[in-house]
Structure 1
């Protein structure tokens, strides 16, 4: 049994005095935590005595009241103030609130170092420390037997929770979702997400999550600590009794959580590889329609609500980030890196596509197909996405969906674009290929410069007379000049169609 506040007050060499919270003097003190931070509760474990010189304590009575309330919510055994320092005096509001909360407020004379209080608690609690070590040993024994028995993660954490008298959850702090897809969800998900965001997308020593009951009664409290790993993960503990689990034991369970994350990552990588292989077969028509439908249904994707997204990708990094994030969002998907592009199949939900946009490079365009409809239509959806991506690249737009209005409003397919380009520019392209000229580029620059001879000549680094000769040759080859409105429109759309069809080939060759 740990030393109590009453017993510490009775030790003559400590010379401690009680100022408030007399009804709580039988609280046990597991450890002493000296801190002058303005929010020490973020690093306190239940049962600890907080000692402070008061430099982090506000002088305002209202703020002091909140300070003592937060300590009480953290399960602090007592609040001790060192005398003779520069901190503000304790207000009546703080002591009255401490009395109401039965939280002892004590003072330590200037002549008594905090280390003396620490040693006193450590000496008395030597037996308690042995008990805690035994608790740690039991935790790892449970883990060892669970792993040997091949128990799934949710059941393993249920066993560890029973040992700590708490419900334990591995949670993504950005979404509040459990990392165990078939496991229970914490009831403190909204509070965790809000606190995580409020701390700059980070978890301090411990987050105390408070959830006020519907009837306005005392708030329920859960603890959240960070789990070691590359991706932000929280271990959330909801007490099943009156006492919150000790922070030291939770840190050990967080280490167990890191081991579980390693297994979850391996499982996700395995699913990703299987999904990439399935998408490759679907795009290559390597499966009959019935088998393709069954295999796609097994992934959890609903074809009628899904689209294919295509975006350039120069490395595997974005693919891994996308797969990990969508997995944490519980978004069924297939992901394949092919031909220097990422092919992604997922349901057409705004929040999932918004997350995809956030994960990709800010300059990365995306092409989105029409709804897939059936597994057998995936090759056509890929063509639609490629057409939309080409339009996005040509027009310097972030996202274009197949069928969106573009600078080529009458064209819906690459084939139609190729027909237009060939009909208007075929002779010009053939002449450039045969004679090594670059009249197509000259036409492109002239149209982009709004037919300003001087501006176009400057960009092309040629004389205006040379530009005039080239434009006459272009008119001769195409039968269209740059003075008539109808000719200008035809040439402009034909150049855009040509660039759209050939943009990816040009990029690969560069």
Structure 2
């Protein structure tokens, strides 16, 4: 039988006195919690009895009514105010509001500690709470031995008498494969509230939308993740159950992430074969089809400035948004074969950060065109450095009409950079790399030296040597244009290692 507010009032040694909200005495009490916060419900799930020090009770009508309304609207079952010499009087307006909302408002003498009230509630509700918590972890233990996440969530929903959704905190996308999304309006409200708080989630986030109420807590995971309970078939999920449930879901996510990491490594081998031209169209269509990738509409995206951690975040983020993809790292660049849509570009920007530079090829069309698509993406990412959005498509690069195809690009490279390339090959020098870095760094000696890890005077010497060998003055606008065009043509011809 549920423990109610009425039971507390009828416990003689607690000496509680009802001041208002008598119509709510049959409200169940799940826990008793002290808090002196202005908005204590941010760390309570609902169903708790709030115990508040009299010294922190607002004196004003506005302050008292705001506290009562906020507690009632967020599922707090009632409030006990500790009396002491500094406790302000409860205003008639506050008492009237408690009556209107059927929110039990009680006071307790200074001589009765809050611990006595808390112990009474814990003794009454403790056995049931332990039983539910034990069922949560039993379900997780079973899933570790026999992975079946869909059944796991269904069983947890039955035990907790509510629906459960595991969502990406930034996008609202389903984060756990077995989880069903909440109604669209509720999901949008959750994402909006988290964004409004700049991702800072309190102990419990109370979200309301279209007469639907949800409790949201953070889930410990590599990606920003939240767990939401809603559609309650009884009292709201208790805070302690929410916390245990979030930890349990973290275990399920870790299992899922391990599976996805395995898939990423398998996919990297497929991508490697495609990029090297080691796969026929027939083989490629079969491999891509198994992964849900349409060669006709997918592009190769080259990303520069991506750490290994960001690569993992991207893989998990694309998986959460159900974007089919392959990833492959070669040297300083990360390559992705994927459909390029507003959704996939949004994931790229979110997971890779502002420092990443992106180059996008023409649509793949057929698997055997992958080596050329990789060159196109590599070329485009070099051009993206000079754009404000740090993203460029091969179509944008067509402004350099002289580089319409690889043969034209080879002519430009040989004519402008040939002598430098030959010299670097013979003397193991880095003149071409220095020139490229110097132009990318907007001809800053200091930035170039930092980028290359050499002394500033070394950069000055190398640029002078480049001018001597090519017969071109780097201060001339025409020379800058030729060098930049030739370097980008070299990117087009390069086959990443």
Normalised by the length of structure 1, the TM-score is: 0.80
Q: Is the 8 A contact 1:335 1:344 kept in 2?
A: yes
Out of 385, 388, 406, the residue aligned to residue 380 of structure 2 is 388
Which residue is equivalent to 1:39? 39
Matched, 1:174 2:170: yes
CA distance in structure 2 between the aligned counterparts of 1:431 and 1:147, rounded to whole angstroms: 60
Q: Is the 8 A contact 2:400 2:485 kept in 1?
A: yes
CA distance in structure 2 between the aligned counterparts of 1:260 and 1:459, rounded to whole angstroms: 54
CA distance in structure 2 between the aligned counterparts of 1:299 and 1:209, rounded to whole angstroms: 36
Matched, 1:159 2:155: yes
1:458-497 per-residue CA deviation (whole Å, 9 max, x = no partner) reads 99979xxxx9xx98x88xx87x9999xxxx7764443223
| 1:52 CA displacement | 0.6
Which residue is equivalent to 2:367? 375
Which residue is equivalent to 1:303? 295
| 1:248 CA displacement | 2.0
| 1:428 CA displacement | 8.5
Which residue is equivalent to 1:138? 135
| 1:151 CA displacement | 5.1
Which residue is equivalent to 2:391? 399
CA distance in structure 2 between the aligned counterparts of 1:397 and 1:24, rounded to whole angstroms: 57
Which residue is equivalent to 2:94? 94
Out of 197, 200, 219, the residue aligned to residue 199 of structure 1 is 197
Secondary structure class of the residue paired with 2:288: helix
Give 5+ residue unaligned stretches, structure 2.
444-456
Q: Is the 8 A contact 1:293 1:376 kept in 2?
A: no
Q: Is the 8 A contact 1:391 1:406 kept in 2?
A: no
Secondary structure class of the residue paired with 2:70: helix
Normalised by the length of structure 2, the TM-score is: 0.81
Secondary structure class of the residue paired with 1:317: helix
CA distance in structure 1 between the aligned counterparts of 2:224 and 2:429, rounded to whole angstroms: 57
Matches within 5 A, 1:269-418: 269-312=261-304, 316-360=308-352, 362-393=354-385, 398-405=390-397, 408-413=400-405, 415-418=407-410
CA distance in structure 2 between the aligned counterparts of 1:481 and 1:32, rounded to whole angstroms: 79
1:199-245 per-residue CA deviation (whole Å, 9 max, x = no partner) reads 33133222222123xxxxxx332222222333332222124423212
Two-structure CA RMSD over aligned residues (Å): 4.0
Q: Which has the larger radius of gyration?
A: 1
Which residue is equivalent to 2:83? 83
Which residue is equivalent to 1:227? 219
| 1:46 CA displacement | 3.4
Give 5+ residue unaligned stretches, structure 1.
213-218, 450-457
| 1:70 CA displacement | 2.9
1:58-110 per-residue CA deviation (whole Å, 9 max, x = no partner) reads 55545544432332233322111122365654344432232122111111223
CA distance in structure 2 between the aligned counterparts of 1:491 and 1:135, rounded to whole angstroms: 74
Matched, 1:68 2:56: no
Considering Cα pairs closer than 8 Å and 6+ residues apart, tell me whether 1 or 2 has the greater RCO: 2
Describe the shift of the 1:183–1:416 C-alpha distance in structure 2 as closer, same or farther (beyond 3 A).
same
Moved more, 422-431 or 18-27: 422-431
| 1:384 CA displacement | 0.8
CA distance in structure 1 between the aligned counterparts of 2:301 and 2:421, rounded to whole angstroms: 32
Matches within 5 A, 1:210-225: 210-212=208-210, 219-225=211-217
| 1:504 CA displacement | 10
CA distance in structure 2 between the aligned counterparts of 1:117 and 1:437, rounded to whole angstroms: 79
CA distance in structure 2 between the aligned counterparts of 1:27 and 1:89, rounded to whole angstroms: 25
1:418-464 per-residue CA deviation (whole Å, 9 max, x = no partner) reads 3134346657887999999999999x999x99xxxxxxxx99979xx
CA distance in structure 2 between the aligned counterparts of 1:366 and 1:287, rounded to whole angstroms: 26
Which residue is equivalent to 2:236? 244
Describe the shift of the 1:42–1:425 C-alpha distance in structure 2 as closer, same or farther (beyond 3 A).
closer
CA distance in structure 2 between the aligned counterparts of 1:145 and 1:329, rounded to whole angstroms: 28
Matches within 5 A, 1:103-114: 103-114=103-114
Describe the shift of the 1:321–1:136 C-alpha distance in structure 2 as closer, same or farther (beyond 3 A).
closer
Matches within 5 A, 1:487-502: 491-502=479-490
Which residue is equivalent to 1:454? none
Which residue is equivalent to 2:121? 121
Runs of 4+ more than 6 Å apart: 394-397, 427-442, 458-462, 480-483, 503-506
